[in-house]
A and B are shown apart, each in its own frame.
Chain A
Amino acid sequence: GQQVMQIPQYQHVQEGEDFTTYCNSSTTLSNIQWYKQRPGGHPVFLIQLVKSGEVKKQKRLTFQFGEAKKNSSLHITATQTTDVGTYFCAGRRGAQKLVFGQGTRLTINP
């Protein structure tokens, strides 16, 4: 079945450092979504990427979808304490269900 692998599992950074999490699928995806889950909270939708090679930005967050539509990344520039949480990618192949990656837990030293 479809699998979505996400690395790293954990990342600890100093406030102000950059952070990147990577997502890889075993199959070509129709689209990929990114979610953020704060500690004790529920996943919150951040963005959806659909096109091959697509790049989208949200303030300090940059999202990329690979040319082959099998991988994606989320990069945060100059992290802030408000960025703490677990970031999940979720991929969909055609009309199939959304498959979530394992998540990357980001902690920040102020």
Chain B
Amino acid sequence: SAVISQKPSRDICQRGTSLTIQCQVDSQVTMMFWYRQQPGQSLTLIATANQGSEATYESGFVIDKFPISRPNLTFSTLTVSNMSPEDSSIYLCSVEVAGGFSEQYFGPGTRLTVT
């Protein structure tokens, strides 16, 4: 298993600003992911954070809007840029500990409200 922390846990931001969310894992992991979850909805994968290279984005998500860094095997950041109210959501970091496409462990999430 893995213990994952995220900062901040929640924030209220003004439109047009940017917020960087941090994800810290207590052990080295191969795969790290960023998801978005609207209240009462399912999880939507934003991107896979790749260590030492550019993140792999899913359809509908672009690097300019959601830049991601992953400087090492235990840490990643997601920035939500030029925010609008539509970006209000819960952002979740997750990891796969074992290889071979195993289960995912999720961080506690960051609740973002854009006014």
Binding site for B on A (CB under 8 A): 30-31, 33, 41-45, 48, 88, 92, 95, 97-98, 100-103, 105
Contact = CB atoms under 8 A, between A and B. Distances in A.
Interface stretch (B19-27, B70-78, B81-89, B96-104): B96-104
Given A42-B92, A42-B109, A97-B58, A88 B103 contact: no
Contacts of B58: 97
Contact of B102 (A48, A97, A103, A105): A48
A31 B101 CA distance: 9
A47 B92 CA distance: 20
B101 A100 contact: no
B43 A30 contact: no
B67 interface: no
B contacts with A: majority SS = loop
Nearest to B93: A42
A45 B42 contact: no
Nearest to B6: A42
Interface of B: 40-43, 45, 48, 58, 92, 101-109
A44 B105 CA distance: 7
Max chain A Cβ within 10 angstroms of own Cβ: one of B58, B101, B104: B101
A97 B106 contact: no
Contacts of A30: 101
A92 B45 CA distance: 13
A17 B92 CA distance: 32
17 contacts: A30-B101, A31-B101, A41-B108, A42-B92, A42-B107, A42-B108, A43-B104, A44-B106, A48-B102, A48-B103, A92-B101, A95-B101, A97-B58, A98-B104, A100-B43, A101-B42, A105-B40
Given A42-B106, A42-B109, A44-B106, 9 more contacts: A30-B101, A41-B108, A43-B92, A45-B105, A88-B42, A92-B101, A95-B101, A98-B45, A98-B101
A92 B101 CA distance: 8
A92 to B, nearest CB: 6
Contacts of A102: 41-42
